[in-house]
A and B are shown apart, each in its own frame.
Chain A
């Protein structure tokens, strides 16, 4: 709300120590920050970057799955996949709307995605060559996303927190349908079981990379935690995800592709799994645009945007003309 009023508005704040302290005191008292409230420029900038990146991820995330809608093996799977992809589109919208309340326009965010200056989750730069990939995405990618999003429901910025509540409510079926799909494959013939294992082998490491760089290398983490934009660090969330997923894989007879996975009862308070070294070179390569599908994803988004230009123009022209005709008739 109010977002278009903020576009181009002077959102500069005089950031005296007194102002910053008063802002921190509000955060510490768990008082949510709302769109027109005074906030440090860095708080605004961090949120625009983070929410924008989240929104782009939802939108680009429709592409790898959309790839399989027409080839879903049963009607039950097809309606589930259609509903899921439609949800992702909606989630992108909620998030773009939340970012817009900070004074950035939708058009500007779209431009930044298309020209490569804005990022989206590295995970969507991996291809989906088999049907089992749809199961792996729902189970692992949505599972990781939920792990990340649940604490964001308590983010200090009101519109982001509210968007996350809606997203989390809708997303719980996404993970379940993915896990169910994988389970069904593991109960099939040897080829089907192999297909599930192969998808898990390819998606496991990229999924745990989704939580981002390790806390020791993450440049944004400290201040975001202090401002309660984030509630947990990347490594904490990654650990939670691994601890939750290992027994799920075991239950359906699949093996996680990490020989170093081992229960360690001395890890953290209640124990946790030790795991192998993450290939951060691969992560940074994909983030920097050299993943398998980076070029295809942006090409698809650009085509959708360009091909839709005449529709947007026509809708605006029609609205303008109708308004004129109405005022003449009145």
Chain B
């Protein structure tokens, strides 16, 4: 094995069709953006999975720390007043 630097890692996002979001589908290694794009096309769209690809260098992604998941996401759990079902309105009103 040589001392070559590690081949950079890219995350791949695919939009299945117009009107939908790009969605994370996997990752791959490539030296640069152009090769990452070509490899993503070969590997992740062999069966008409989409019509648009994003590739993003994994090292450019800023991710939240799972250790902070409680303080980040728990506070939303007791805010039921943010949901429509929290409010009482007469049945006669119908759909609102």
Q: Give residues in A with beta carbon < 8 Å to B.
A: 1-5, 7, 34, 36-38, 83, 86-87, 90, 93-94, 97, 100, 105-107, 110-111, 163, 166, 170, 309, 312-313, 315-316, 318-319, 322-323
- Whether the Cβ atoms of A97 and B27 lie closer than 8 Å is yes
**Bound Cα distance from A187 to B22, whole angstroms:** 47
Indicate if B61 sits at the interface (CB-CB under 8 A). Answer: yes
Task: Say which residue of B25, B26, B32, B61 sits within 8 Å of A315 (CB atoms).
Answer: B32
- Whether the Cβ atoms of A313 and B4 lie closer than 8 Å is yes
Given contacts A86-B46, A166-B26, is CB(A1)–CB(B11) below 8 Å?
yes
> Inside 8 A of A2's CB, which chain B residues have their CB?
58, 61, 63
Task: Say which residue of B6, B26, B31, B35 sits within 8 Å of A4 (CB atoms).
Answer: B6
Closest to B12 in A: A97
- Whether the Cβ atoms of B26 and A319 lie closer than 8 Å is no
Closest to A163 in B: B26
Closest Cβ–Cβ distance, residue A43 to chain B (whole Å): 15
Given contacts A4-B6, A34-B66, is CB(A94)–CB(B29) below 8 Å?
no
> Inside 8 A of A110's CB, which chain B residues have their CB?
1
**Bound Cα distance from A112 to B47, whole angstroms:** 32
Q: List 11 A-B contacts (CB under 8 A).
A: A1-B24, A3-B9, A3-B58, A4-B9, A100-B9, A107-B1, A107-B6, A107-B7, A315-B31, A319-B35, A323-B32
| Interface set, chain B 22-45, CB cutoff 8 A to A | 24-32, 35, 43
Q: Chain B, interface size: which category?
A: 20 to 34
**Bound Cα distance from A87 to B42, whole angstroms:** 10
Closest to B28 in A: A93
Closest to B43 in A: A90
Given contacts A4-B58, A100-B9, is CB(A316)–CB(B4) below 8 Å?
yes
- Whether the Cβ atoms of A93 and B1 lie closer than 8 Å is no
**Bound Cα distance from A322 to B31, whole angstroms:** 11
Besides A83-B46, A107-B1, 6 more A-B contacts (Cβ < 8 Å) are A3-B9, A34-B66, A97-B27, A106-B7, A111-B1, A166-B26
- Whether the Cβ atoms of B32 and A322 lie closer than 8 Å is yes
> Inside 8 A of A100's CB, which chain B residues have their CB?
9, 27
**Bound Cα distance from A313 to B7, whole angstroms:** 9
The 9 closest A-B pairs by CB, nearest first: A315-B31, A319-B32, A319-B31, A36-B66, A97-B27, A316-B31, A111-B1, A90-B43, A4-B9
> Inside 8 A of A1's CB, which chain B residues have their CB?
11, 24, 27, 58, 61, 63
Indicate if B2 sits at the interface (CB-CB under 8 A). Answer: yes
Task: Say which residue of A87, A111, A315 sits within 8 Å of B46 (CB atoms).
Answer: A87
Indicate if B70 sits at the interface (CB-CB under 8 A). Answer: no
> Inside 8 A of A93's CB, which chain B residues have their CB?
26, 28, 43
- Whether the Cβ atoms of B28 and A36 lie closer than 8 Å is no
**Bound Cα distance from A87 to B47, whole angstroms:** 11
Closest Cβ–Cβ distance, residue A245 to chain B (whole Å): 27
Indicate if B78 sits at the interface (CB-CB under 8 A). Answer: no
- Whether the Cβ atoms of B59 and A4 lie closer than 8 Å is yes
Given contacts A1-B27, A4-B9, A309-B2, is CB(A37)–CB(B43) below 8 Å?
no
- Whether the Cβ atoms of B43 and A170 lie closer than 8 Å is no
**Bound Cα distance from A107 to B4, whole angstroms:** 10
Closest Cβ–Cβ distance, residue A58 to chain B (whole Å): 13
Indicate if B74 sits at the interface (CB-CB under 8 A). Answer: no
> Inside 8 A of A323's CB, which chain B residues have their CB?
32
Closest to B24 in A: A1
Indicate if B5 sits at the interface (CB-CB under 8 A). Answer: yes
Indicate if B65 sits at the interface (CB-CB under 8 A). Answer: yes
- Whether the Cβ atoms of B58 and A170 lie closer than 8 Å is no
